[in-house]
Structure 1
Amino acid sequence: MTRRRVFDPGTVPVAFWRRDEIERSLTRRDVGQLFRLFLAEFNGCTQTQLALLTQHDRSDISNWVRGTRQGRVSDIEVLTRIADGLQIPDSARLLVGLAPAGSFPLHPDPVVPRPRTAVQDDQAMTVPVPVRLAICGSRAPDTDADVIDAVVPCLARLVMSRGYKVSHGPVGVGIEVMTHIADRYRPPDFALAIGLFGHRNVIAHAQLVLVIGGGVGTQAEIDLAASMGTPIVALPASGGTACRFYQQATRDQRLRGSINDEQFAALSACADPSEDFVRIVEGLINNDLGASSA
């Protein structure tokens, strides 16, 4: 009797996970459609092998494939078993709402200055340092709650996909972003977010300050960032301090920092404020801070 060869998910090309129909299935968490596309593409894989790889009963896989069981799944444990079993790459895991398999530090380092040695200085020239963002703002009375609701998951996805470090206060939009990461993506060993006390501590080590909504405290952080020469990117559609700062920067180009006229105009003309805001932020990071978008 010839033993059937076990399908190796490690042989699945990354390009497969980048197909439009696959990405749509992942975004919708439609495992039924995902399995149908997977089986159609890879003849060496069977429903039985899918069951073994994803730790499910053969009948579960059959029902998903045939459509007799609801294809869309919300259980994070089920999605994790599928992603791990099929060795789904990190970019695709993010689409389905899972943390990357390769973990990275999300916690901000304590704001404590440390002496450097000559060896450390030499290493700093070759070892890339993660980009640090300060996420400032809050749901002050004159902010747009719907825009803030939309931008929080978009910023969470950006932080997760790029491994940026985040500084934020004990309350506000920054802690909302980190909470969304913990609840949606469940990164390994991520159970603590350090909310920094003191406006100066929030922006002290940031390379870019993001402003969403906000009130008086957010304005204090903007003033400190401006005095330190740290670039500030505000989302005017979120209202509050972000909108007021944008209007001020419209009149005073010095407040725009490295943001060019096209990018500045795009911040106000966003068709989808949350998604467009994140794209502009990532572009600024890649172009001005030298971070890789790979």
Structure 2
Amino acid sequence: MAKKKILFISQEITPYLPESEMAHIGRYLPQGIQEKGKEIRTFMPRYGCINERRNQLHEVIRLSGMNLIINDTDHPLIIKVASIQSARMQVYFIDNEDYFQRKHVITDDKGTFFADNDERSIFFTRGVFETVKKLRWAPDLIYCQGWFTALVPLYLKKEYHEDPMFAHSKVVFSTYNDQFDGTLHKDFAQKVLSENITSKDVSIISEPTHTNVNKLAFDYSDGIIFNSQEVDPELKEYAAKSGKPITEYTTPEEYVNTYSAFFDKILENTPSKK
């Protein structure tokens, strides 16, 4: 029997970024799932603060070279890769000079939220899908974590659902207590539209707050994980009303086993679309 394939898409992964609740899970959950017999691929953004020499990142020429059009502008897609030797695990990085060369992650050195974080999120999400297509690696399940990955479920169910690589993929979205103040760019919803994604599909992010961006991810997910002890109560209520499978916060000692069982449960269910 062929191994199940799990695609991990993370906003943060240690050791490439300082350790946090999210970065820790981004690093150790894929390893744990791999050790349980699954095949994995892992992606994160190549933020400019990541030291390429120390972490031994190198460009994958055969995967790079595509342009993604966002808000009527071409942006070259560059793919890099590094290995975590102790885990026998590779990490793929989505890079672009316009979006990921700055020396900070989500905010500048004064703590100001980057005005183009909406486009950075779109580019990252689409970049992952296009790279996985080039790898010709069809995931059975996609696990994405952090608001920066919140478009993954939407793109899977609306933009890539007829692609053979993703036609049978399930998706689990994992939310954190990673709020940002204010909203993403007011035109975020407009920038996401395509031949397959309509204004109705993304009406919930007409006001793109952290809460609404997470709700959009819930709408198109097959399962939801709460990965922080303290999560927006409105999101808890929204998830409960959706009727979708939910896993609550689990301790660092238990999350690999708990999430592995949750993934198996999702994989056993029939594919769903909104």
TM range (shorter): 0.3 to 0.5
Structure number with the higher strand fraction is 2
Structure having greater relative contact order (Cα 8 Å, sep ≥ 6): 2
TM-score by length of 1: 0.37
The structure whose residues are more often helix, as a share, is 1
